[in-house]
Structure 1
Amino acid sequence: MAIAGRYRLLDLVGRGGMGTVWRAEDELLHRQVAIKQVVLPAWLGGDELDQLRARTLREARTAARLSHPNVVRVYDVVSESDAPWIVMEYVPSRTLQDLLDTDGPLSPQQSARIGLALLDALRAAHDAGVLHRDVKPANVLVADDGRVLLTDFGLAVFDGGDQTMTGPGTILGSPQYVAPERAAEGVSSEPADLWSLGATLHAAVEGRAPYARSTAMATLSALACAPPDPAPHAGPLSAVLAGLLRRDPAHRIDHREARRRLLAAAGCDPADEPERAGEDTAALPPAGGPPSPTPPADTGEATPEAEHQRRVLVRPWAWAAVAVLVAMAAGIGTALTVVGSGADQPDPGAQNPPSYDVGPSGPAGSIPRDERRPPGPPPGGLAPPPLPCVRPWVDGAALPTAPARRGDEFRPPAGWVWHANAGGFRVALPADWRYFRDDDVSCFQDPATGRVFTVADSAGTTTGSITRLTSVRDRELAGGTLPGYQEFRLGRIGDAAEWEFGWLTPHGDRLRAIQIVTDHPTRGRTWTLSWITREPDWTDAASERATVRLSFRPDR
């Protein structure tokens, strides 16, 4: 798949709440790049979506002007089928989050040196009038050559410009790393970026963010009025965390003071540091020396100033708590919003909706064999599901496997296998998936989560891909098989047409699906790929879904 006729996607390297990142080949300049598809909130529409799309492109182009050794370069920003794609420097690396997950917390000195690199990156961005708004361990790259880089300016905005993504009530970012004033009022600023830096460094030494809780709602509730969690392992980094994590942005330390404290925590001699314009480096303390006296950290005690702040924050916080529930129900990921579309509610006018599902409910886990129902039509003679291969049980046999094809650049993840289908295609899937047929459609299902991937071909068809998907949609709506229907998009993405939608099952679950129709026939055949899963699983399944899609190969 080529984006903008130039960037050939190779393999998936990461994903987040605002998009998916691939390693790609720039076929014009013959170099590898990282390319991110920015996923805009599905609940927007009309003028709001157009304005957000245009501003995302504009602000990403602003970020492209940044040139700093600790910032991942943005090479290009393109619009493919009305979706923004950001083309970036490809850096062989691991994220700080990956390091914490696999190796555990870092020492205060290591964390301080990472903090210095990130502070330099933020200083360069802020000097250019750009706010990052999503500083967190997952957006910090520790390169194979030892460099530390800040990446993903997908949420960046101009300082002093439009401070929210779509207007009042909308906050985008990761709850555990969003500054209190951003969560309460949606206001972005340099101090808010520095608060997120402090939360990131807290996670580096403690292994978790200062407001990490079991749910996003609990995180936001704690952020509203509680002090940050203690950092018993911070050691010399404690003064940095105390200054950056102050609730009141007016009392939060600035770039200069943060750098002074980070140098002390890292054990660096300020005399060895290059002099910075406008900064008195001679005033910095010797390595390992105590920090200069500073105002006390915000401990959450009921001082008059703190109590005033609490009153300011708590009133809009009731709305923020509701925002989390709305965002989670709508499958927005890390987008927090108090604006609900209402489209996820059951259709009160739907009568006798079809009875079907995509597999087990409740926690992930295989359904015991004796609890699987035999194949057959849905009970009660109700309308069939709108897509092939959707079953109220886990179906199929072990997945037939095939060897890798020589010369194929795609490398399946560990635990995945190639499947060569007699229908004329190859695809990579997790080894424990099952395979079955539904008439002329090839069906693949995960017995643990119930996720379903399907492949169908249309030999000799002359109908356009958008027309075909629109006809299927209209037919199923007219037939009553899509109660509580919600359409996320129906349009062109790259060299394919995509229809993404959700609907309601009779027992209250919502399913979500995407159908992809390729544009370029292979030996007179076009292909329709489908992915179906429960709505709450949609975001978690995004990486797997993208990898399966990227691996699909028609036989030539």
Structure 2
Amino acid sequence: MLIANRYRLLSRLGEGGMGTVWRAHDETLHREVAVKEVRAPAGLRSGDIARMYSRLEREAWAAARIPDRNVVTVHDVVMEDDRPWIVMELIRGQSLADLLRAGGPLTPRHAAHIGAEVLCGLRAAHAAGVEHRDVKPANVLLAEDGRVVLSDFGIAVVEGSTALTMTGEVVGSPEYLPPERALGRPSGPESDLWSLGVMLYAAVEGISPFRQDTALSTLRAVVDGEPPAPNRAGPLAPVIAGLLRKEPAERTPAAEVAEALRNIAHGPDAATTAPTSTTAPTSTTATTATAGTPAAAPAPRPEEPATTTATEPSPEPPAGPAVVPGPPRRRRTAAFVAAGAAACLLTAGGLAYALTRDDGGGDPAAGSGVRVSVTGTNTTYSGSCPAPDGRAPAFTATFTAPEPTLISYRWVSGDGSVVDPQWRTMSIGDKANPTGRDTVRLAAYAKTGTLTTGMAVELQSPTRTLSNPVPFSITCTS
């Protein structure tokens, strides 16, 4: 198909709620470009369609007036079939959402580098009187030449323009929406800083902090809830906390954030560990302690890359990014998980235990929604402790989903008490990973005593549920 007698559409790059992005050839200048078309939903009234077209044209206007390498370049705006089409530079690489989907959470240093580049683009936009309003991983493009490019200004508000939003319509992704906009209050550059903070959290944790089962509950969490404490953020944690202050005036100024992100991006990665307890052993290695006395925890090890594939928590594919996907990267997870404080609360005779972790693949499974089940082996043990690997109780959680889904979960005892305090993420339901599995093994620390309880999995996202508990018993003899 030839658009405006000049741009020949070659292949589809992505699509979402605001339209479809095509790879195209500019037959006048003989170069490849990206062309964005609008797709009006079926049944939309003519007035609403006109509003959507105006929004698309405004995207080009907003982006074209920002002269910055971190903002996508707009070449042209043309009309075809009474619809506007935006012609942009074609960026070869992948979006941040693609990167998270393929390789899991980023290190704080890597996330800080991307965040610093995005913030450069935002500051240039704000200087031009443009608020982006939809900062999220799907709209951040990672070019093969090293550029980090902010795209999709389709819902941006240009200073002095008339708002085109219908009354009651939520514009933007709810989990990245700042609380002032969720409440219908005026927004400004500080609102984009909030969204940047949510994006940084999602980049290092693998899931956004406010995502709930529905858009309404997500907005309620944005307005009233506090984000869970990040486990992997390291030096980024105070930066994220400063950006996620509910009151816009209290958020860390952009200049201070930019300096902090640059310092983190050029410094070493700090080791990130799960929250620890003063009453329970946090060692990742099974050691021996006397009954009633937790084993001393060794120094935490540097963070190892993760094997499980984590997805950016936005459910829609990138509509605005003009990006040609690059090859995915994979990582390997740490082999161990620390036992939480609840372990000691469940002990009899002063027994404490450690939790070690091992991931594995699985077979495809059918079904509706995310399912989780837990099975156990060697669930009754009596003998010297720590138990040998071949005899120690082991538990395997199996997760299935009919479509690509990012899950967030943790191990708990049979009564729901937390065993592993860190929420973990896994991507399941796609062709490469239709089924996900997580296996833990228990190793007693005490010389004597009996522990009788159960192991289960608590699923946090996309729905909240508790799996079946598997009872077990460990008796340590002297």
Shorter-chain TM range is 0.5 to 0.7
CA contact (8 A) 2:165 2:171 kept: no
Q: What is the CA–CA distance in structure 2 between the aligned matches of 1:333 and 1:261, rounded to whole Å? A: 30
Matched residue type, 2:243? L
CA contact (8 A) 1:116 1:262 kept: yes
1:81-140, CA deviations, whole angstroms, 9 ceiling, x for partnerless residues? 232221111011111111111111111011111111000000111111111111110111
Match of residue 243 from structure 1:
242
Check 1:25–1:188 CA distance in 2 against 1; reply closer, same or farther (3 A cut): farther
Check 1:42–1:169 CA distance in 2 against 1; reply closer, same or farther (3 A cut): farther
Match of residue 299 from structure 1:
none
Check 1:132–1:38 CA distance in 2 against 1; reply closer, same or farther (3 A cut): farther
Check 1:147–1:246 CA distance in 2 against 1; reply closer, same or farther (3 A cut): same
Check 1:229–1:85 CA distance in 2 against 1; reply closer, same or farther (3 A cut): farther
How far apart are 1:55 and its partner, in Å? 4.8
Match of residue 69 from structure 2:
69
CA contact (8 A) 1:93 1:142 kept: yes
Q: What is the CA–CA distance in structure 1 between the aligned matches of 2:147 and 2:267, rounded to whole Å? A: 17
Matched residue type, 1:53? Y
Match of residue 18 from structure 2:
18
Match of residue 175 from structure 1:
174
Q: What is the CA–CA distance in structure 2 between the aligned matches of 1:166 and 1:71, rounded to whole Å? A: 24
Q: What is the CA–CA distance in structure 2 between the aligned matches of 1:196 and 1:229, rounded to whole Å? A: 16
CA contact (8 A) 1:131 1:189 kept: yes
How far apart are 1:40 and its partner, in Å? 4.6
Match of residue 537 from structure 1:
none
Match of residue 497 from structure 1:
none
1:118-176, CA deviations, whole angstroms, 9 ceiling, x for partnerless residues? 0000011111111111111011111112221111122222035334x324322211112
Please, what TM-score do these two structures have when normalized by structure 2?
0.54
1:176-208, CA deviations, whole angstroms, 9 ceiling, x for partnerless residues? 211111122164421111111111111110011
Match of residue 201 from structure 2:
202
How far apart are 1:43 and its partner, in Å? 6.0
CA contact (8 A) 1:168 1:186 kept: no
Match of residue 7 from structure 2:
7
CA contact (8 A) 2:8 2:26 kept: yes
1:35-82, CA deviations, whole angstroms, 9 ceiling, x for partnerless residues? 111335656534454345235314522321222111111111222223
Check 1:102–1:59 CA distance in 2 against 1; reply closer, same or farther (3 A cut): closer
Matched residue type, 1:34? A
Q: What is the CA–CA distance in structure 1 between the aligned matches of 2:224 and 2:167, rounded to whole Å? A: 21
Matched residue type, 2:30? H
Alignment of 1:102-501 (within 5 A): 102-163=102-163, 165-185=164-184, 187-267=186-266, 363=368
Q: What is the CA–CA distance in structure 2 between the aligned matches of 1:210 and 1:43, rounded to whole Å? A: 34
CA contact (8 A) 1:126 1:159 kept: no
1:392-427, CA deviations, whole angstroms, 9 ceiling, x for partnerless residues? xxxxxxxxxxxxxxxxxxxxxxxxxxxxxxxxxxxx
RMSD: 3.0
Q: What is the CA–CA distance in structure 2 between the aligned matches of 1:43 and 1:220, rounded to whole Å? A: 27
Work out the percentage of aligned pairs sharing the same amino acid.
51
CA contact (8 A) 2:55 2:154 kept: no
The secondary structure found in structure 2 opposite 1:99 is helix
The secondary structure found in structure 2 opposite 1:172 is coil
CA contact (8 A) 2:62 2:153 kept: no
CA contact (8 A) 1:23 1:34 kept: yes
How far apart are 1:334 and its partner, in Å? 11
Structure with more of its chain in helix, by fraction: 1
Match of residue 32 from structure 1:
32
Match of residue 81 from structure 2:
81
Q: What is the CA–CA distance in structure 1 between the aligned matches of 2:51 and 2:173, rounded to whole Å? A: 23
Check 1:42–1:244 CA distance in 2 against 1; reply closer, same or farther (3 A cut): farther
CA contact (8 A) 1:26 1:33 kept: yes
Q: What is the CA–CA distance in structure 2 between the aligned matches of 1:186 and 1:142, rounded to whole Å? A: 33
Please, what TM-score do these two structures have when normalized by structure 1?
0.47
Alignment of 1:43-62 (within 5 A): 44-62=44-62
Tell me: higher relative CO, structure 1 or 2? Use CA pairs within 8 A at least 6 residues apart.
2
Q: Give the gaps of 5 or more residues in structure 2.
A: 271-315, 320-366, 370-478
Check 1:137–1:55 CA distance in 2 against 1; reply closer, same or farther (3 A cut): closer
Check 1:130–1:236 CA distance in 2 against 1; reply closer, same or farther (3 A cut): same
Matched residue type, 1:28? T
Check 1:267–1:55 CA distance in 2 against 1; reply closer, same or farther (3 A cut): closer
CA contact (8 A) 2:15 2:318 kept: no
1:243-268, CA deviations, whole angstroms, 9 ceiling, x for partnerless residues? 11111112112211211221232246
Q: What is the CA–CA distance in structure 1 between the aligned matches of 2:199 and 2:138, rounded to whole Å? A: 9
Check 1:333–1:139 CA distance in 2 against 1; reply closer, same or farther (3 A cut): closer
